[in-house]
Structures are given as structure tokens and as C-alpha cells.
Amino acid sequence: MSDEQIIIEAWKQAVAVQMHFNDIAMKLRAFALTLVAALVTAQNLSSGRNGIGALVSALVTWFAFYLMDRYWYHSLLVGAVLYGRALEIQAETLNMKFPPRPPGGGIYSASLLGIADYIGQANQQHWRWRVNRKIDTYYFLVAVALLIILLARLQVFG
């Protein structure tokens, strides 16, 4: 197998690993939201102050999922992306020919195969937020909603 073939095969595996970790992250977020919704529903069905325990459990659960998503699986995904980029740079040193980079280069202009560039630019297209900020915002908004429900249940507002 030539050096070029080895790099291409390794890059394909790196992309497969990226897809795997991205899939895990999406399933994790969906499961977290479903579980928290179930806990909030349990709180609404309970009477008196018993429901407060379900809300506190929902908040703790939500925070645990945030930590797992943001600092575990997202870190693994970033590692897979960085490895793929390293392979792309290695391919560039061998003068391998691939599709052109997207116009403007973007923040990942070292990417020869172009996928990291395209995804990076598309990811920031609308709000120009980096992915970490999007993850933080997603978890923050649900946590705020849970806190509001908890405070309302404790009758802090009235």
C-alpha cells in the first residue's frame, strides 16, 4: 500500500470516528431531554412538595448530561477532528490532489480534503457561534426553564 493510500484509509477511519462521536452526542442530548421531560412530568403529576425532589433530580440530571456531553464526548469528537486534520496536512506534504478548499479558506485553512473547512464554515454561517457556545446555550436554556419551574413550585414568585 502506498503512503497516499494509507493516508486516505486512515482519513476515512477518522471521518467515521467523527461521525460516531457526533451520533453519540446527538443521542445523548435527545435522551437527556427525554429523561428531564419525564422528571418534569412526574413533578407535575405529584402533589404538594413531593414534586420538588423530581425537579431537583431533573436539574442534577441535566447538569450531569451537560458535563458528559461537553467535556467527554465533545472532547473525543474534537480529538477525532484534529487527527483528521493532521492527516490532511500530511497529505498536503505529499502533494496529494483533492477537491479544492472552500473559498476564503476560513479558520481551518490547513485542511486539504476540505470537509473540516466546509463544516466549520457552515456551522458558523447563521449566528457565527462556535460549537462550544451552542452546546452551552442548549443546556443553559433548559436549565433556566427547570429553575423557573422549581422556583414557581416553591412559590418564590408569589
Which sequence spans correspond to the domains of the chain?
3-153
Distance CA 90, CA 119 (A): 20
Q: What's the mean pLDDT when you consider all of the chain?
A: 81
Answer whether 108's CB lies under 8 Å from 120's CB.
yes
How confident is the model over 43-102, as pLDDT tens digits? 777 765 556 888 888 999 999 999 999 999 999 998 998 898 888 888 878 877 655 555
Distance, CA of 65 to chain centre: 12
Select from 68, 59, 66 the least CA-distant residue to 40: 59
120 grid coordinates? 466549520
Instruction: Report how many helices (DSSP H) and strands (DSSP E) the chain contains, helices first.
Output: 5, 0
The model's pTM: 0.74
